[in-house]
Amino acid sequence: MRALSRVGEPVRWLASRARPRRGMGSSSAAGGRRDPGENPKVGRLRELFTGDAADGWEKSWEFGVTPWDLGKPTPVIEHLVRSGTLPKGRALVPGCGMGYDVVALACPERFVVGLDVSDLAIKKAKQWSSSLPNADYFTFLAEDFFKWIPSEQFDLIFDYTFFCALDPSLRVAWAETVNRLLKPDGELLTLIYLISDQEGGPPYNNTVAERYWNRWDSGLFLWKTMS
């Protein structure tokens, strides 16, 4: 993890590189990374994205084509929750899917909002989680991350492979939206799915040769290739 600050704001941005998971494509025996499209589930996922992206995500849940779904909370979230190092207050998980991370983060000191553009994903998340002991400390909303306007900003935003699921043309908008939703002293925790030597998506290519954030004139952090 690397701590960085936005221009004029004492914000700690945490970036963590996640190794490719078998569900989304794995490394070859020689140690190189292969096109995740070689995974039949990822190939099928890409076939569903023939038009509107929101429609593609809805179809992925309708047909059960969700290769990113671990079926449990992301291990690093479980570890950080146990460590007690995460901010209290309000947390946001964009692209939450089934909401495992939302539930894992939720507690009396932390209210968590799970956001997903897929109505079906949100319906499934609500169904399995509604009777859990900590159900009063989280909610699920079917909203567009880029258009949604909450009543309050967040102390924590957790992005697990949400960034790489977006078309690269939306990366500036992603940075602007995170900047709008996160409190000035909030934290962004990202798990970036690193892949290379592949075309198209989702997931979209993020090479190891790129560094995570660079100061822009507006004070936002943008993806930039290392020189």
> What CATH number does domain 40-214 carry, 3.40.50.1820, 3.30.420.40, 3.30.30.60, 3.40.50.150?
3.40.50.150
Rounded to 10°, the helix 53-62/119-129 angle is 40
Region 104-110: mean pLDDT is: 97
In 3D space, the residue among 71, 74, 33, 42 whose CA is nearest the CA of residue 165 turns out to be 42
Only one residue has tokens 């939206």, namely 177
Distances (CA, A) of 132 to 49, 75, 104, 107, 198: 34, 20, 11, 11, 41
CA 227 → CA 4, 7, 209, 210, 224, distances in Å? 19, 22, 9, 9, 9
Cβ atoms 116, 58 nearer than 8 A = no
- Tell me the pLDDT band of 44, cut-offs 50, 70 and 90: confident
d(CA 91, CA 102): 9
- Comparing 2-16, 79-93, 143-157, the range with the smallest average pLDDT is 2-16
> What is the percentage of the chain residues whose pLDDT exceeds 90?
44
Which is nearest to 145 in space by CA: 178, 190, 185? Answer: 178
The domain ranges of the chain are 40-214
Of 39-48, 116-125, 137-146, 171-180, the one with minimum mean pLDDT is 39-48
Name the DSSP class of 80: H
Q: What is the mean pLDDT of the chain?
A: 75
Question: According to DSSP H, which parts of 15-133 are helical?
Answer: 40-47, 53-62, 75-83, 100-105, 119-129
Residue 70 Cα to chain centre, angstroms: 13
Check residue 35 and give its pLDDT.
Answer: 62
